[in-house]
Amino acid sequence: MRKGINNKVKEMSKKLKPLSPDQLAYIKNIFDKKGYYKKSGEVWCQCCGRIEHQLPGSLDIDIECGYQCSCGAHLTLVYAPRLNRMYDRAYYSVVQTCQGWQIIRTFNVERNNTKGILTQYDINEVYQNWISPDGEEVILGKSYSRGVNYFFWKYNSDFSIRHHNAKSSGYYAFEDVFDTCGNYFYPKFCITKKLRRNGWKKRIEKLPCVSMAECMKMLLSSNHAETVVKQGQYDVFLHMVRNKWKELEYMNILNICHRNGYMITDASMYFDYIDTLNNLGKDVRNPKYICPDNLYEAHDKALAAWTKIRRAQEQLEEKKSIAEKEKDYKALRGKYFGILITDGTLEIAPLKSVKDFFEEGSEMHHCVYQNKYYKKKDALILSARINGKRVETIEVNLKTYSIVQSRGACNKNTPYHDRIVSLMNRNMNLIKAI
């Protein structure tokens, strides 16, 4: 079956007409309109190749506002006194139809400029994306060769069946050769009756950073995409194409938005907002929630509420896991729990439970719990406090009986740091004796 379709496309391709004069003339518009100038007043037009001369110093206003070449091009002037050759290349696509199929024909266009010679344009057709009335794609393309630092088309090769081919090799990622995203398009699209019936509009042709071939395939193969486009929700359609979603989980919500005249301008943010509403147990059929006046404010409020709930759940789960770890920690460091070091104001004592580690880390905003210091080999963790308030957390190495670190909130030293270190060193024998 597939072989028969491929052969049919090959035969139809042979009947395609050359580009029209208008389509050829438009090619000049896909390149930057630049003019390279010298201080002597010479201007070299990259659109036509002509060299024109102005009075020295008369180009000052043209440098700011642009220069009008005799060929009609409005040039941006660039100072390049030694430039004699320039080469530009771009992909140029033309949208046509043939026997109910949608076609995107892509040409590799090279603009060559050598000083003293009129601009030359080399145009070679390199691939065609054929899209059936059902949204199936067949690609015809020329042969090519590519590597990490090179790519070139074999213009003399025949058109044959090709496939989308983005691949990675080692550290290098290759782009899909047959992706039309980023190509320059002739502005007059010829669209099939079925694609127009399914909702194709000029607005789709202007969607950013998306393949026109993928847009056509989506609109021909997805009822949800057709509905979304006819509702005018173009950003949702764009989101569907980029994510290759042929069905929308929240299509019923889109219908409610349509009935209430609500337009979605940031689909990614909107669907994230709807997911959050679901997590919060809100009624996602109520326009009060799903049609916010300010999506970003509503999203932030919903996310803050869900984050609060999730943190409470995480803390509850963490406390359950802490209880399971207590036995091991007491067996490991229980013999040190009776130590109390004080100078009358400062009180330093070991953390006596995994729960203590959790509370110490939460209040002091450091990683004593997250990095599982309660499991750390040859380490005794103590808390220095004044009137019950945590001041610094101390780590002592039980092999060397030295202070590894003493940290206050957010891992910073406090005004009591030197006093704590001195007090610990004077009383290290209490730890050694155990």
Average pLDDT across each block of 10 residues of the chain; the chain has 434 residues. List them in order: 83 94 94 93 94 88 90 93 94 97 97 94 97 96 89 94 76 81 96 97 93 97 97 96 94 96 95 95 95 95 92 81 81 91 93 90 90 89 94 94 92 92 93 88
Residues 271 and 368 in one domain: no
Residues 189 and 285 in one domain: yes
Residue 324 lies in a domain: no
Residue 241 lies in a domain: yes
Judge whether 341 and 430 are in contact, CB under 8 Å. yes
Phi (first) and psi of residue 326, to 5 degrees:
-60, -45
Contacts 24+ apart (CB under 8 A), 412-416: 416/346, 416/384, 416/386, 416/391, 416/392
Residues 9 and 126 in one domain: yes
Residue 279 lies in a domain: yes
Residues 111 and 226 in one domain: no
As a whole number of angstroms, the distance between CA 224 and CA 247 comes to 6
Residues 191 and 156 in one domain: no
Buried-exposed string 16-36: b where 16+ CB fall within 10 A, e elsewhere: eeebeeebeebbbebbebbbb
Q: How many domains does the chain have?
A: 3
As a whole number of angstroms, the distance between CA 325 and CA 318 comes to 11
Judge whether 46 and 119 are in contact, CB under 8 Å. yes
Of the three residues 250, 272, 298, the one that is the final residue of a domain is: 298
As a whole number of angstroms, the distance between CA 77 and CA 74 comes to 10
Residues 152 and 32 in one domain: yes
Residue 410: which domain range? 337-432
Residue 167 lies in a domain: no
3-state secondary structure of 324: helix
Read off the CATH number of the domain in which 342 is found: 3.40.630.30
Contacts of 416 (CB under 8 A, 6+ apart): 346, 384, 386, 391, 392
Residues 154 and 203 in one domain: no
Residue 309 lies in a domain: no
3-state secondary structure of 305: helix
Count how many residues are written for the chain.
434
Of the three residues 242, 275, 298, the one that is the final residue of a domain is: 298
Judge whether 410 and 366 are in contact, CB under 8 Å. yes
Residues 211 and 294 in one domain: yes
Residue 398 lies in a domain: yes
Q: Which two tokens stand for residue 289?
A: 């929630």
Contacts of 268 (CB under 8 A, 6+ apart): 239
Strands of the sheet containing 101-114, edge to edge, are 160-162, 137-141, 120-131, 101-114, 85-98, 184-185
Res 99: pLDDT: 95
* Direct distance between the N- and C-terminal alpha carbons of the chain, in angstroms, rounded to an integer: 83
Residues 140 and 232 in one domain: no
Res 290: pLDDT: 96
Buried-exposed string 225-249: b where 16+ CB fall within 10 A, e elsewhere: bbbbbebbbbbbbbbbbbeebeebe
Q: Which two tokens stand for residue 258?
A: 């349509």
Beta bridge partners of 111: 88, 121
Smallest Cα–Cα separation from 272: which of 243, 313, 303, 251?
Answer: 303
Residues 119 and 190 in one domain: no
Residue 395 lies in a domain: yes
Would you list the DSSP string of 32-67? --EEEE-TTSEEEETTT--EEE--TTTTHHHHHH-E
Of the three residues 235, 270, 298, the one that is the final residue of a domain is: 298
Helix (H) or strand (E) holding 86: strand 85-98
Res 149: pLDDT: 84
Residues 206 and 292 in one domain: yes
Q: Which two tokens stand for residue 275?
A: 């997911």
Q: Look up the pTM and report it.
A: 0.73
Residues 44 and 90 in one domain: yes
Judge whether 382 and 351 are in contact, CB under 8 Å. yes
Residue 312 lies in a domain: no
Res 433: pLDDT: 87
